[in-house]
Chain A
């Protein structure tokens, strides 16, 4: 789906005003905005979010509604820190959605393994919401989510629900105070995958997280016999235009903004380690 929400005659770089419907503080450095943008999109696609005078940032959509979009944002740069100041009723400027998301339609009938590291779980939450809306189309769903520590747990409201509906495996790298964190495991998400995933039969895997984590997860999956075309990764790159011209997000000729951000691993594996 490449619905950009604008006709061809219009300026593709034009940000438009939308209203913030909800602001929710997830962790000390992440928050989720619900925005009144009624638009068709695929899970894994992203929007360009602007504040006048501050700049523009690509943020992936972490919901699956046609009435609003949710954006989970980590305060890590100038724009995202300013976005943290938005509250219900405020105006924010958006354009998009952009890029290729997870090919959910094509993957019907498969068991799904979803692996997220830290704020990498944000685009994947879009796929989880999609699965919720099309539950009969997919088999068993395993969620592997790794956080740095219990206080970095984003989507804590949703985790409760996911624990009821899916096989949820939450890992925290460190938990010195022994705080509650779902199945309470300490360690890397890779350990849980090694333990719980038996074979590659009828399974596809979605991975999003820090590059080191993605490489480690892919390594384990390959040991377990997964083929590269069973793995989908979501890439993060610097981008300005989001329409394949500014070139900042290019990975050996592929544009993260239009050919990605979701890539099937066999299509990018030779290229991403540059």
Chain B
């Protein structure tokens, strides 16, 4: 693989660079309050890079709730959208690849104009994890490719910056005074340490394994895992009418979760995947197996947020590892 175009940027120049990008753009970056989440940042000092964000950046492209149409008795009209230009800073490898995977779903497959409008005006500036920022990380088990406009590697007093796209290249060209030539990084320097904990990603043969039970028995079917997941894209669509004029209102889509029992309920009341086990496995298998059957890559990007944020801490990565260990024993 040819070495990446690589630069050095001082921390003072990094600040200048972001401030320059903020002219005419919103800066979205991790901010620590009660928890770390991607927020609109006014002051670069507020950016939090010491730990991984608890919530992914998903809602900036695929909001929790979104108006698809305004309607009246006459019909459905798509609201005129004028999405702001945005620059994202501090996206980790998992977050960046999650955006890539959602691009496959919403842009390539569904040709979704809402997602596309939010996505195409965005710059993606990544932040490299030198070592796994959470004990639940497993991104390196999934062989994720590079996906970013620029990727920042933090050093003591400067950043090393890699260029990953034409958009990134244009930025470096425009703001060249803050970028200085640097030697390309070695694969070892680009690796994320302690993030290869999932020992098997091809889990088709484990579907009927009794090992799932221990996790399933703890599952509350609450859907926290899917809400915290940077790639989960299940949603529902509903009409909301205004009280003043029941003939008009908005058609909206909201996040949903395959973990909820009513997720498959058809008119007449029949529910498919009525038991927790089939729903629990549905999520894991969609993430690791079924998405790959269609798209050549697993949907999951190994951030581990579904484990970290699970109220009963169901560590399905360890469960799969034990299923694999069992295999060797027998």
Number of A residues with CB within 8 Å of any CB on chain B? 36
Number of B residues with CB within 8 Å of any CB on chain A? 49
Q: Are B286 and A248 in contact (CB-based, < 8 A)? A: no
**Please, how many angstroms separate the alpha-carbon atoms of A13 and B252 in the complex?**
11
Q: Which of A1-57 contact B (CB under 8 A)?
A: 8, 11-17, 50, 52-57
B238–chain A nearest beta-carbon distance, Å: 6
B304, CB-defined interface residue at 8 Å: no
Annotate A240-258 by CB proximity to B: 1 below 8 A, 0 otherwise: 1101111110111100000
Contact A245/B294 with A13-B68, A52-B239, A253-B286 known, Cβ cut-off 8 Å: no
Q: Are A253 and B294 in contact (CB-based, < 8 A)? A: yes
**Please, how many angstroms separate the alpha-carbon atoms of A126 and B263 in the complex?**
29
- Which residues on B sit within 8 Å (CB–CB) of A77? 267-268
Chain B interface, >50% SS class: mixed
Task: From B112, B253, B258, B289, give the contact of A12 (CB < 8 A).
Answer: B112
Q: Which of B263-295 contact A (CB under 8 A)?
A: 263-268, 270, 272-273, 278, 282, 285-286, 289-291, 293-294
A215–chain B nearest beta-carbon distance, Å: 14
B249–chain A nearest beta-carbon distance, Å: 6
Residue ID in chain A nearest B233 by CB atoms: A245
- Which residues on A sit within 8 Å (CB–CB) of B2? none
A76, CB-defined interface residue at 8 Å: yes
Number of inter-chain CB pairs below 8 Å: 113
Contact A8/B270 with A14-B78, A56-B237, A253-B285 known, Cβ cut-off 8 Å: no
Q: Are B236 and A248 in contact (CB-based, < 8 A)? A: yes
Q: Are B71 and A52 in contact (CB-based, < 8 A)? A: yes
Q: Are B237 and A14 in contact (CB-based, < 8 A)? A: no
A93, CB-defined interface residue at 8 Å: yes
B165, CB-defined interface residue at 8 Å: no
B176, CB-defined interface residue at 8 Å: no
Q: Are B249 and A53 in contact (CB-based, < 8 A)? A: yes
A195, CB-defined interface residue at 8 Å: no
Contact A53/B239 with A76-B268, A245-B112, A246-B234 known, Cβ cut-off 8 Å: yes
**Please, how many angstroms separate the alpha-carbon atoms of A237 and B267 in the complex?**
9
Q: Are A11 and B78 in contact (CB-based, < 8 A)? A: yes
Residue ID in chain A nearest B292 by CB atoms: A253
Residue ID in chain A nearest B241 by CB atoms: A53
Which 4 residue pairs are nearest across A and B when measured between Cβ atoms? A253-B290, A77-B267, A52-B71, A247-B234
Interface residues of A (CB under 8 A from B): 8, 11-17, 50, 52-57, 76-77, 80, 93, 211, 236-238, 240-241, 243-248, 250-253, 274
Interface residues of B (CB under 8 A from A): 68-69, 71-73, 75-76, 78, 105-106, 109-113, 233-239, 241, 246-249, 251, 253, 256, 258, 263-268, 270, 272-273, 278, 282, 285-286, 289-291, 293-294
